[in-house]
Chains A and B, each alone.
Chain A
């Protein structure tokens, strides 16, 4: 599976549901975009403390590569065996969002877009790569994710979780507007 095939599948569909390994969000839609086949390491240099992987890569695989260099993920994920990094990104957590440095995504119009990068400090443009953490497959198809890693000796941030509550009217309106920005035709369901 390559990125052009994902792009084509998005453009061909009227509506589709993005899935990973079905470990976090269960799919109930007929037409799915299965990202689990889009997996593997894109780049990793231990001294940079930065790794880039394709979205379908499992957390277990990522952790095994990091372990060779005595490094760890700076956030914790449940069910690591089946969870993909793309799925974890879509569900989101404050600690995962902290670690994200950049993404390559395909939006609802099939455009391949790059936000953020592979460096710790980067304030060029809005921080879209952290904005989209927790977007639950509703705004874009996440293809590649760059994130920060840690030496083994450093403590992983405690999971603080997310608080589910009915968003205020203002927030609802802004979220609706942002859906229009990333997926104006409502392809991603």
Chain B
């Protein structure tokens, strides 16, 4: 392969990985049902080496797929057969920490949790906490605009990044800052899934650790009571640091796996975490307990140990469910909160219709659903059934004014669903924005935005601006 030889000649040999065996670890990301080996993988150790890769790829008209830790769940870092994978995990230095300004400047391959660990001595932390935070990189977080459990109060990645340095496909450096005058190019880069540029440095905002953190668990005999409680908490003026909901199936699975002390007979479980200074938390706690009148049981965690144990069940929800089924498919739709109960009931009906079990875990506070569809890939037709059910669930989310993806990104996984959320004109604008940065389409081409042709072939009904074709019809 000519390009591989050229990369080997221009770069230190140990950072260029090639050959069938050696590139195998890079053939997929967290969405492992899709696999593809690239021409070669380059793991640069400095910015100059990234520039060389860009230059050589430009010359050969070869696509570049950027990759952080490869924990993405939507296939955003899936290699293309004719591509080079640019793995940024070796750029893992924390350059500076400024405790006064509450900022840190880090390289793109620094792991999310490593930032919080490094600044802990100053009683600070980096707020966005995707569940993969032990492994995922900050560069990947920016590319996906990652969320986590604490988004409702502390925001997404886009709210916690102050500046980035990036290289354009021409190898030019572009510095983007939150306080730049004019249009929001920094915001645009957040969630751009590696299609617009290569991130080489990130300045993040650090958050002071709260004085007190208080977790309350409440169980409910009726799902609707739990969903209404979520709305009532927000309506009462409380913004919890975390507000998580699980359905009966997920509760049982988590309890079997972690023995966190969840009530197995409950139909729904709510975990509500308050944080802040001591007095504020005390006031909010009093208010919160008064709002839990429909709960069957209430448990106020009275030690840090108990708090962590109760969280363990929720945080292990995916592997807990994974034990019950050979395969599961994780969805990531978002909905306006007041549709929670309706959407849940609809998912239950769909689950029965497709004869596939669905476990529901939600970031209820921000309306982000993670239904887990259980299936068995060894049974013929089961994958297709799971995908069809998943598509129905995402359509449901769009129909009530939500989105097909809250925090996992589109990648290759949700290209079809994009056709349902956006009309041809908007998709065309997306393609033109890409071309404004990358006219030859060399950066992660084919991901995130479906071609108009693909959408036409699918013939999906597009719900324009959430105006349903027959608004008079009852949808639930």
Chain A residues within CB distance 8 Å of chain B: 45-50, 70-71, 92, 94, 97-98, 104, 107, 111-115, 117-128, 130-136, 139, 150-154, 160-165, 167-168, 170-171, 174-175, 177-178, 180-182
Partner of B187, one of A45, A48, A130, A167: A130
Are A131 and B188 in contact, with the CB atoms below 8 A? yes
Complex A-B: 15 CB contacts under 8 Å: A45-B336, A48-B337, A113-B429, A114-B464, A118-B336, A119-B334, A119-B366, A120-B152, A121-B366, A122-B334, A126-B433, A127-B190, A162-B180, A170-B170, A180-B432
Are B184 and A133 in contact, with the CB atoms below 8 A? yes
- Give A104's nearest chain B residue, CB to CB: B465
Question: With A120-B366, A163-B177, A171-B174 in contact, do A127 and B191 touch (Cβ < 8 Å)?
Answer: yes
- Give A117's nearest chain B residue, CB to CB: B403
- Give A91's nearest chain B residue, CB to CB: B181
Q: Which residues of B contact A122 (CB under 8 A)?
A: 334, 402-403, 405-406
- Give the interface centre of B403, B406, B435 by most chain A CB atoms within 10 Å: B403
- Give B409's nearest chain A residue, CB to CB: A123
Are A47 and B181 in contact, with the CB atoms below 8 A? no
Question: With A113-B429, A168-B175 in contact, do A50 and B191 touch (Cβ < 8 Å)?
Answer: no
Q: Which residues of A contact B403 (CB under 8 A)?
A: 117, 119, 121-124
Interface status of B456 (Cβ within 8 A of chain A): no
Are A123 and B180 in contact, with the CB atoms below 8 A? no
Partner of A121, one of B239, B334, B410, B425: B334
Interface pick from B58-66, B229-237, B305-313, B341-349: B229-237
Question: With A118-B336, A178-B183 in contact, do A125 and B190 touch (Cβ < 8 Å)?
Answer: no
A117 to B426, alpha carbons, bound, how many Å?
13
Interface status of B25 (Cβ within 8 A of chain A): no
Are B155 and A118 in contact, with the CB atoms below 8 A? no
Number of B positions contacting A (CB below 8 A): 76
Q: Which residues of B contact A126 (CB under 8 A)?
A: 188, 191-192, 430, 433
Partner of B185, one of A46, A47, A71, A174: A174
Q: Which residues of A contact B429 (CB under 8 A)?
A: 107, 113, 128, 181-182
Are A47 and B188 in contact, with the CB atoms below 8 A? no
Q: Mark B374-412, 1 if CB is under 8 A from A, else 0.
A: 000000000000000000000000000111111111100
Partner of B178, one of A160, A168, A182: A160
Are B185 and A131 in contact, with the CB atoms below 8 A? yes
Are A170 and B172 in contact, with the CB atoms below 8 A? yes
Are A170 and B430 in contact, with the CB atoms below 8 A? no
A185 CB → nearest B CB, Å: 14
Partner of A128, one of B144, B179, B433, B448: B433
